[in-house]
């Protein structure tokens, strides 16, 4: 399967298929082969739409074999079935639940004394067939244009992207000869501008900035490009070791800076970076070229003169003088900064000045970016309601960490808060009206449980794209969740070379986030709940081997019935390597109706599989709410501590885990329903009739239909039939590129 088809499969559940011979009539054995392929695909939790089957029934044997060999490995990769899952106890969970304490203790001690090389030997027993009735993911046909639309939507995103998103952009640029057709006129996210600029410079290569200069507006945009060329952090949250620029690259950077106009203020924003880059650019070499006069002048002032007072400093000075009106007047020229300072201006202003500030913001609100407007709107909705006890922040950077502080902000009047909310609503509607009409729009109310993707920079690579804090339903038939991890060592074939010990744990809390109990390598079986661990393995084996696995089952209802509510799954690197350093490490979970039926790892029951690659040694992937029967997507990390008494495990990190999870369940962010609703209100018509819609926002992929009235040619009697409306797009909550590219 080519790389473009892989992107389409992973993101859209679509396949690029060629109907090589539409008139070909299959033999009986070839038809049976299509049935066998379908059965094997279904065993992984997928099935084919009608349009795929219509093409496959015109493939000959060789074409079917080629299709199968390409598809199955990719499907296995999506659900994590591409590796072997070898737990300590092959007859888990019943074997662990029935074993004596002495047996479990002796097996663990022998394993530890052997540095993880000796495992207890048990005969694997025959298991009952899987009784779970799981919903299938439907695979339909797509085309190369669909891949181009993914590229375009990702580049149009006004929010930062994950590493996986950027990899897909790079793959498209490198493998689509016509990629330029899908480049948008504007790229709102500056990180995307830098990333695309690097790709084009390295791909072409180009000697002028003509192809990319329209995307660069400020010197900081150019700084991100130089950072990208040095493989640094384009968010500029961390320092970069800059490499020397080639002459052609230096000329491109100088051209981009010359087109940015007055760059002096931006140079001071990142003083140390520009001092170093200025030396690499050799600005003085271009003394004879007039178009670089502004660049040379800015660098001369930057190096030799005292820093002047810029707008940010003037605004801060006005705020320190408590002159909020002056600050508001200055901020009108910078609407984005105005929006970010709005709470400060309002809470510290006299009541008579609040009306002026809200009116001043209303004048420029339409110039504020959509993501900022949505967040300001949500912030003031929360501010006018019951005061939350905490404030939650997610610091900028490539590691997902939460900061929680007491909410001691002074109150703002309900009237002022409502005025800001109304202003944001009007500005958003005005912005969305400039987009293409949507027609009749159906929105499933379940979209209220999914949050708007504002920041995916530190998101892990997963088989579904979900935003932190989103609450998704657990399969109503599921009785238990089975978490799993799989990993290998970091070394070669030596069992001791680069030994990696990963631990899977789960902490159980009550409804007030009081710790109740945990299940981990220190407590394989719960005394209170129906929960158990498959055994602690401390050696991942050869990096080229089968790897090892740990599983952890928790019965959902047993937790809800016995004063518990939340199950927090956690993954610890006991040997303290960061997940980003490991060649192989993944986490996921299955939702099981009967934990003793089927194999321990059943691909068709996998709900989520993620690769752990963060710059941390503690991961908190998911929280299960056993009362509401929803899982809360977490994908968070804890700060790396230098020393932990007792090792890097659940007990040593209980306080940090509790604080992080409490934050994820007590913060308000705009949801997808609100985003779609505002778009539909601005440029369409909202309908509650799913079958009457021109576009459907729903995780249910059932194709809508229309009633067709006809007259029988023989009898002359009227008749009514149903016809599928396959042309109506159905957008689910995981369609990340559409949501950020077309709605934000």
Q: What is the mean pLDDT of residues 529-534?
A: 96
Contact 540, 493 (CB under 8 A): no
Nearest alpha carbon to residue 85 among 586, 700, 429, 581: 586
- The residue that leads in pLDDT, 417 or 290, is 417
Q: What is the mean pLDDT of residues 366-390?
A: 88
Q: What is the mean pLDDT of residues 198-218?
A: 81
Contact 240, 398 (CB under 8 A): no
Q: What is the mean pLDDT of residues 420-430?
A: 97
> In angstroms, rounded to a whole number, what is the distance separating the alpha carbons of residues 199 and 373?
31
User: What does the pLDDT read at residue 96?
Assistant: 96
Q: What is the CA radius of gyration of the chain?
A: 29
Four-residue CA torsion sign, 359, 362, 367, 371: positive
> In angstroms, rounded to a whole number, what is the distance separating the alpha carbons of residues 742 and 744?
6
Q: How confident is the model over 123-182, as pLDDT tens digits?
A: 999 999 998 877 899 999 999 999 999 999 999 999 988 889 999 999 999 999 899 899
Strand, coil or helix: what is 535? coil
User: What does the pLDDT read at residue 640?
Assistant: 62
> In angstroms, rounded to a whole number, what is the distance separating the alpha carbons of residues 386 and 466?
28
- β-pair partners for 455: 160
User: What does the pLDDT read at residue 83?
Assistant: 95
> To the nearest 10°, the Cα dihedral for 337, 340, 345, 351?
120
Positions of E strands within 444-602: 461-462, 471-473, 480-487, 502-509, 515-519, 531-533, 548-555, 566-573, 585-592
Q: How confident is the model over 31-86, as pLDDT tens digits?
A: 999 999 999 999 999 999 999 999 999 999 999 999 999 999 999 999 999 999 99
What are the phi and psi torsion angles at 366 (to 5°)?
-65, -15
Nearest alpha carbon to residue 311 among 356, 275, 268: 268
Contact 447, 150 (CB under 8 A): no
User: Which of the four pLDDT bands, split at 50, 70 and 90, describes residue 665?
Assistant: confident
> In angstroms, rounded to a whole number, what is the distance separating the alpha carbons of residues 332 and 315?
11
> In angstroms, rounded to a whole number, what is the distance separating the alpha carbons of residues 32 and 59?
12
Contact 591, 483 (CB under 8 A): no
- β-pair partners for 47: 138
Four-residue CA torsion sign, 250, 256, 261, 263: negative
Q: What is the mean pLDDT of residues 200-206?
A: 77
Which residues, including other chains, have CB under 8 Å from residue 522's CB and lie 6 or more apart?
649, 650, 651
Contact 533, 568 (CB under 8 A): no
Judge if the upstream peptide bond of residue 93 is cis by omega within 30 degrees of 0: yes
Q: How confident is the model over 705-742, as pLDDT tens digits?
A: 988 887 777 777 777 788 888 899 999 999 999 999 99
Chain-centre distance for alpha carbon 469: 11
Residue 525 pLDDT greater than 70, yes or no: yes
Q: What percent of the chain has pLDDT over 90?
A: 68
Instruction: Please state whether beta strands 566-573 and 548-555 pair in parallel, antiparallel, or not at all (unpaired).
Output: unpaired
User: Which of the four pLDDT bands, split at 50, 70 and 90, describes residue 215?
Assistant: very high
What are the phi and psi torsion angles at 118 (to 5°)?
-105, 125
> In angstroms, rounded to a whole number, what is the distance separating the alpha carbons of residues 472 and 464?
12
What are the phi and psi torsion angles at 481 (to 5°)?
-110, 140
Nearest alpha carbon to residue 335 among 365, 360, 313, 374: 365
DSSP-assigned letters across all residues of 11-69: HHSEEE---S-TTPPPPHHHHHHHHHHHHHHHTTTEEE-HHHHHHHTT--HHHHHHHHH
Residue 376: which H helix or E strand, with range? Answer: helix 370-383
pTM of the entire predicted model: 0.91
User: What does the pLDDT read at residue 494?
Assistant: 56
User: What does the pLDDT read at residue 230?
Assistant: 94
- Domain locations in the chain as residue ranges: 3-79, 94-120+470-664, 189-304, 315-432, 672-743
> In angstroms, rounded to a whole number, what is the distance separating the alpha carbons of residues 209 and 200?
10
- Cβ-based neighbour number of residue 293 at 10 Å: 12
Q: What is the mean pLDDT of residues 197-208?
A: 78
Q: What is the mean pLDDT of residues 356-382?
A: 94
- Cβ-based neighbour number of residue 291 at 10 Å: 11
Q: How many helices (H) and strands (E) does the chain have?
A: 24, 23
> In angstroms, rounded to a whole number, what is the distance separating the alpha carbons of residues 120 and 126?
18
Residue 204 pLDDT greater than 80, yes or no: no
Q: How confident is the model over 81-101, as pLDDT tens digits?
A: 999 999 999 999 999 999 999
User: What does the pLDDT read at residue 496?
Assistant: 58
Nearest alpha carbon to residue 698 among 526, 451, 444, 493: 444
Q: What is the mean pLDDT of residues 690-697?
A: 96
What are the phi and psi torsion angles at 6 (to 5°)?
-65, -40
User: Which of the four pLDDT bands, split at 50, 70 and 90, describes residue 641?
Assistant: low
> Chain-wide mean pLDDT for the chain?
90
Lowest mean pLDDT among 46-50, 253-257, 560-564, 709-713: 709-713
Supply the DSSP symbol for 489: -
User: Which of the four pLDDT bands, split at 50, 70 and 90, describes residue 664?
Assistant: confident
> In angstroms, rounded to a whole number, what is the distance separating the alpha carbons of residues 484 and 736?
26
Nearest alpha carbon to residue 454 among 150, 741, 161: 161
- The residue that leads in pLDDT, 711 or 318, is 318
> In angstroms, rounded to a whole number, what is the distance separating the alpha carbons of residues 344 and 410?
10
Residue 495 pLDDT greater than 90, yes or no: no
> In angstroms, rounded to a whole number, what is the distance separating the alpha carbons of residues 487 and 582?
8
CB-based contacts of 230-236 (< 8 A; 24+ apart in sequence): 233/397, 233/398, 234/191, 234/194, 234/195, 235/160, 235/191, 235/396, 235/397, 235/398, 235/457, 236/270, 236/273
Contact 428, 371 (CB under 8 A): no
User: What does the pLDDT read at residue 717?
Assistant: 78
Which residues, including other chains, have CB under 8 Å from residue 339's CB and lie 6 or more apart?
361, 365, 368, 372, 373, 376
User: What does the pLDDT read at residue 75?
Assistant: 96
User: Roughly how many angstroms between the first and final C-alpha of the chain, as a whole number?
Assistant: 32
Residue 696 pLDDT greater than 90, yes or no: yes
Positions of E strands within 38-195: 46-48, 137-142
Q: Which CATH number fits domain 94-120+470-664: 3.40.50.720, 2.60.60.30, 3.20.20.70, 3.40.980.10?
A: 2.60.60.30
Residue 564 pLDDT greater than 70, yes or no: yes
């Amino acid at each position: 399967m080519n790389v473009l088809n892989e992107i389409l499969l992973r993101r859209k559940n679509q396949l690029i298929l060629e109907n090589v011979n539409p008139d070909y009539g299959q033999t009986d054995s070839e038809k049976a082969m299509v049935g066998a392929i379908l059965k094997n695909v279904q065993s992984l939790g997928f099935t084919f739409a009608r349009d795929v089957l219509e093409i496959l029934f015109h493939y000959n044997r060789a074409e079917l074999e080629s299709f199968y060999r390409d598809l199955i490995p990719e499907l296995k990769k999506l659900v994590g079935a591409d590796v072997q899952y070898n737990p300590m106890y092959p007859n888990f969970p019943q074997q662990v639940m029935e074993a004596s304490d002495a047996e479990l203790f002796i097996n663990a001690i022998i394993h530890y004394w052997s540095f993880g090389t000796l495992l207890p030997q048990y005969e694997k027993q025959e298991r009952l067939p899987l009784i779970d009735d799981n919903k299938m993911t439907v695979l339909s046909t797509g085309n190369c244009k669909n891949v181009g639309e993914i590229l375009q939507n990702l580049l149009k995103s006004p929010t930062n992207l994950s590493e996986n998103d950027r990899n897909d952009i790079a793959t498209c640029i490198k493998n689509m000869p016509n990629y330029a057709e899908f480049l948008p006129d504007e790229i709102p996210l500056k990180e995307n501008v830098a990333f695309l600029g690097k790709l084009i410079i390295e791909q072409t290569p180009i000697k002028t900035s003509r192809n990319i200069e329209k995307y660069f507006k400020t010197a900081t945009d150019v700084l991100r490009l130089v950072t990208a060329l040095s493989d640094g952090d384009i968010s500029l949250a961390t320092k970069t070791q800059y490499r020397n620029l080639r002459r052609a690259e230096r000329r491109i950077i100088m051209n981009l800076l010359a087109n940015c106009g007055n760059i002096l203020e931006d140079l001071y924003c990142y003083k140390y970076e520009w001092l170093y880059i200025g030396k690499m650019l050799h600005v003085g070499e271009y003394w004879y070229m007039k178009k670089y006069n502004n660049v040379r002048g800015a660098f001369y002032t930057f190096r030799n003169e005292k820093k002047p007072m810029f707008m940010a400093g003037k605004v801060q000075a006005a705020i320190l003088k408590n002159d909020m009106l002056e600050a508001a007047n200055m901020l009108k020229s910078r609407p984005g900064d105005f929006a970010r300072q709005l709470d400060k201006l309002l809470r510290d202003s006299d009541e008579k000045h609040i009306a002026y500030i809200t009116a001043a913001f209303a004048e420029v609100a339409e110039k504020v970016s959509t993501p900022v407007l949505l967040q300001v709107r949500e912030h003031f909705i929360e501010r006018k309601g019951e005061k939350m006890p905490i404030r939650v922040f997610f610091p900028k950077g490539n590691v997902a960490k939460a900061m929680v502080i007491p909410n001691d902000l002074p109150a703002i009047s309900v009237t002022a808060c409502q005025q800001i909310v109304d202003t944001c609503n009007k500005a958003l509607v005005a912005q969305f009206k400039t987009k293409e009409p949507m027609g009749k729009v159906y929105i499933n109310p379940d979209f209220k449980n999914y949050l708007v993707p504002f920041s995916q920079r530190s998101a892990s690579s997963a088989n579904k794209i979900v935003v932190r804090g989103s609450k998704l339903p657990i399969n109503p038939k599921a009785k238990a969740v089975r978490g799993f991890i799989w990993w290998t060592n970091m070394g070669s074939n030596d069992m001791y070379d680069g030994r990696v010990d990963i631990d899977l744990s789960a902490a159980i809390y009550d409804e007030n986030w009081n710790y109740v109990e945990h299940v981990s390598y220190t407590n394989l079986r719960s005394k209170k709940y129906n929960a158990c661990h498959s055994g602690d393995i401390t050696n991942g084996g050869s990096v080229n081997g089968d790897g090892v696995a740990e599983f952890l089952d928790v019965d959902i209802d047993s937790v809800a019935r016995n004063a518990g509510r939340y199950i927090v799954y956690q993954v610890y690197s006991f040997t303290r390597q960061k997940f980003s350093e490991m060649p192989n490490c993944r986490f996921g979970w299955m939702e099981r109706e009967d934990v003793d039926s089927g194999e321990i790892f059943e691909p068709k029951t996998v709900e989520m599989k993620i690769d752990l690659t963060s710059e941390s040694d503690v991961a908190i992937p998911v929280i299960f709410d056993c009362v509401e029967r929803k899982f809360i997507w977490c994908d968070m990390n804890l700060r790396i501590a230098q020393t932990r008494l007792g090792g890097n495990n659940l007990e040593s990190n209980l306080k940090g885990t509790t604080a992080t999870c409490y934050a994820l369940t007590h913060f308000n962010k705009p949801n997808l329903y609100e985003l779609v609703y505002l778009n539909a209100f601005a440029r369409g018509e909202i309908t509650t009739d799913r079958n009457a819609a021109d576009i459907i926002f729903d995780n249910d992929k059932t194709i809508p239909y229309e009633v067709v009235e006809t007259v029988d040619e023989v009898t002359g009697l009227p008749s009514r039939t149903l016809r599928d409306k396959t042309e109506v797009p159905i957008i689910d909550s995981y369609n990340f590129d559409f949501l950020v590219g077309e709605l934000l």
